[in-house]
Structure formats: structure tokens, C-alpha cells
Amino acid sequence: MRPTKKKARPPLTGDDRASRPASPRKNAKAPKRQAKSPARPPAPVKGNNVSGQPTWRARLQNLWKSLLAPLKIQASKPPEVPKSSESEVPPEFRAKMLRVGVVSTVGNYREHNEDNFSLPTLAGKATAGGVGHRDASMDITIERSQSYSFVVADGMGGQLAGEKASQMAVDIIPKELSKRIGNAGSDDKQIQKIIRDAVATANQEILGLSVIQTEFNNMGTTVVLALFRNDRVYVAGIGDSRAYRFRDGRIEQLTKDHSLAQALLEAGTITAEELPNHKFNHVLYLYLGSKDARGGPEDVKAAEVRAGDRFLLASDGLTGVVHDAQLAEVVAVSDDPQASARSLIKMALDNQSKDNVTCLVIHAV
């Protein structure tokens, strides 16, 4: 950077010397530099006059602010939302009992039943059937702050692998739920996290065994579960096993299929009419026993339960060959959940289902 040159001063004339003031002494301090322009008076406060006295406009503004202050405090306070969901369902609409019926069959084309299910028992443990044709029914009196879990799993990977994976799912998930949910109360987010963690634990166990033992290398399973607690049901699924709720003559699918065909439908690549017969309809991108499921289910749906509601958990051996409208019709006809489950099994077999078939029907009464 070039240094700035100082301009040379012209020599002083005699008149200049006379008019020039005497130079200060060397030891004297130089006076502070003063601004050339005169100092401005301080700016008046907004709403006041120069004299500092409030104007009539300022007085009105102050009065208006004092009147609005309590209203602002009241408006800024958020409404209190109860953490418990018990108050959402009026007592006269609360379900007092769960009536349950379940049927699982090997079907017409398979040699082994790779489906499994679990039901709650009075001892708080889960029970699952053996290989082949199984059916069971039970009535559960609902107790406040108690949880009741139901699980259906559809194994994959061959005879031993599929049966082992689905058995592990229906064994591990209820046990993990029982361990974690003790003091959960009725907070939806907390219970949803408990369900994710329980399913993630089952996935880790299945994945670990598939690595250790070669005969289980390709094993995996779908899973769908429903947890009833304090007038609420929490539903989650991984794979293509489904959960439905029936209310007031309408059917609602509570879970989402994790098949490649469903992903193509959501992307707009195929139409809803092409979905049932698409070649990727039974190819899963998410299932228990895969690394992608290590975080548990993507979505855990929370919904209220009222007396008169009916629920269905089923493997794709049923839902792949029986339309939703037919499911709703069968479930609505009978007040016996076991009779409904048997009718659905028969309908699936009559429609030439090529898979194992499991139907679990729950009536809230």
C-alpha cells in the first residue's frame, strides 16, 4: 500500500504571522476536538412533547394499554390439555369387555403354517397356537390402567425359518410391552415409543439369530399388533399384515402395507386398480428381521375405543383375496367374534388363497 503524502504548507507572510495565535507550550495538553456544528437538543420521546409533559394522545394510548394488559395475559396462556385420554370417551360409551375370536389355518396350498398369533391371558402372559389349524376365543373384562395386547405375525423364509421368525415375534413383543408399560399412564407419545421399542427389540433378536444360525439366514416375518389401554387402542404394523376398525357400518384400515406395489401406488406409478394383481404386491421392503426395521414401526396409530367397535388383525392370506367391503359385511353380521373369524377363513379358502390365513377378531362391548 502506497504511503499517503502530506501536503506541504505555504510559507507564512508577515500578516499571517501577526494574525496567527501564539502556539501553546509543548508540555500543555492539546484541547479536545470540538464538533463544528452546534449540539442538537435531545429528541423528544415518542408521544410526548418537547417539554416532557405527556400529550393527550399519549395519555389515551397509556390508558388503552392498561385496559388491554389483562386480556393479553389471558390470551397468551395456552389452554390446558389433559395428558390422560380417559376423559375423551364419556363413561356411558366406554367398553367394559373385549370379546375375542381367532382362527389360523395352513390353507389349501402350504404344508406348514408359518403364521402365529398371541393373546393376553389372565396371568398377563401371551399364548400362541401350534402348527396347523388353530382357533381360540376368550372374553376379557377391562380393568383401568391395564394393557391388553394382540399380535399376528406371518413368517417368511421357508418352513423352519418362517415359523421361527413369527414365533419369536409373538413371544418377544408382548413380553417387552409388559416390561415397559407398567407406569406409562395414558400418554399417547410415551405408549407409542414403548411399542416402537418393543418391536425394535424383536427385530434385533430375529436379525441376530438369522446371522448366527445358517438355517435361519433368510428368515423374517410381518407383524401387526393392537394394544388396548384406557379407552384407547394403539395399532402398529410392519409388512403387509393389516389391522382394521369397524364402526357405524364403516371400515377403516389402521395400518399401511410395506410392499413395493404399495410404494409404486403412493408414487403415482401405478393405479389402485393395478395394485391387487401387481407382480410386486407381495414383495416387501420392510419386515421384521431386516436392518431397515431396527427402529421399529414407522407409524403407531392411536385411536379411541368405544363400546360397539370391532377390530380385525389378519395376515395377507385373508386380505389378499377378500375385499374390504366383504370383510366389513362379515364382521358386522355376527355378534360372536369367533364365528366371524371362521367365516372369514372360509371365505379366503373359497377364494383360493394360496397362503396361510389368520384372522383375529375383537369386539369391544
Q: What is the mean pLDDT of the chain?
A: 81
Taking residues 251-266, report their average pLDDT: 96
Structural domains of the chain, with CATH: 88-364 (3.60.40.10)
Q: How many CB atoms lie within 10 A of CB 200?
A: 17
CA atoms within 13 A on the CB side of 192: 10
The single-letter DSSP state of residue 314 is E
Quote the CA–CA distance of 261 and 263 in Å, as a whole number: 5
Specify the pLDDT at position 138: 94
Mean pLDDT of 299-312: 97
Q: What is the pLDDT of residue 218?
A: 87
Q: Could you give the 3-state DSSP secondary structure of residue 250?
A: strand
Q: State how far the alpha carbon of 145 is from the alpha carbons of 88, 96, 121, in Å.
A: 15, 13, 16
Q: Which residue has the higher pLDDT, 20 or 116?
A: 116
pLDDT of residue 145: 83
Dist. CA 70–CA 308, nearest whole Å: 47
Mean pLDDT computed over 44-49:
41
For residue 148, give the H/E element and its range: strand 147-156
Burial class of residue 315 (count of CB atoms within 10 Å of its CB; 0-12, 13-18, 19+): buried
What is the average per-residue pLDDT within 53-69?
A: 55
Would you place residue 56 in the very low, low, confident or very high pLDDT band (cuts 50, 70, 90)? low
Neighbours of 125 (CB within 10 A): 13
User: What is the structure's pLDDT at 213?
Assistant: 93
Q: What is the dihedral of CA 187, 190, 195, 198, to 10 degrees?
A: -140
Highest mean pLDDT among 180-184, 207-211, 223-227: 223-227
Give the mean model confidence (pLDDT) for residues 243-254: 96
Lowest mean pLDDT among 10-14, 123-127, 282-286, 319-323: 123-127
Cell of 365: 362391548
Q: Is the dihedral of CA 176, 177, 182, 185 positive or negative?
A: positive
Q: What is the pLDDT of residue 101?
A: 96
Task: Name the more confident of 83 and 166.
Answer: 166
Torsion of CA 136, 139, 302, 341, to 10 degrees: 40
Report d(CA 99, CA 338) in Å as an integer: 9
What is the structure's pLDDT at 188? Answer: 94
Cell of 105: 389355518
The pLDDT value given to residue 1: 44
- β pairing state of 147-156 and 220-229: antiparallel
